[in-house]
Structure formats: C-alpha cells, structure tokens
Amino acid sequence: MLKHADIIVSARVAGRLIGVSRAITDYFYCTYLSDLAVDQDYQRLGIGSELVRRTHEAAGLGTTLILLAAPKARGYYPRIGMDPHDSCWIIPRRP
C-alpha cells in the first residue's frame, strides 16, 4: 500500500505516528484519498482536516479530491467542507 501510493502525509507527536493519509493522484485531474486515519486519542483536534488539506495541496488544488467514507465516518466529511457525490459505482474486491 505504501510503496505504490503517490502521496503519504503523516502527523506525529514526539515522533509517535498519530495520523496518516494516503492518496493516489495524476496531479492534474483527480486525487483519490484512499486512507485517512487519526489515533482515537487525537481525534477532534483538527488533525484529520489538516491531513486532508495537506494531501490535497500536495496533489494540487486543481485536482478533485475523492474519497469513499467508512460507514462510521460519513458524518465527518461534510463537517470539514467536503460535498457528497451521488454517482459512485464500484466492483468489489475479490479474495
């Protein structure tokens, strides 16, 4: 996962990893933010929002940032200024 990512942004406290974002991008049209995680002890401090901002900035603000939310995180993304999109389709992973 890490080897093939285009962008990885991390947040650390005293060297300890407390947050990470991982994205794939063409640096022109779209950026797929595939992973966003913040340690529970550090949530609600703006770390996730800052990881998203820095990831988008690294990809280029001219790209459209896209992500698929985990069910428990769906309410988070509108709070940080992201808009919902109603036309996403998938072919699920196969084991």
Express each pLDDT in 24-63 by its tens digit: 999 999 999 999 999 999 999 999 999 999 999 999 999 9
Express each pLDDT in 73-85 by its tens digit: 999 999 999 999 9
pTM score above 0.85: yes
Please count the other Cβ atoms lying within 10 Å of the Cβ belonging to residue 35.
Answer: 15
Write the DSSP string, 14-77: TTEEEEEEEEEE-SSSEEEEEEEEE-GGGTTSSHHHHHHHHHHHHH-TTSEEE----GGGTTHH
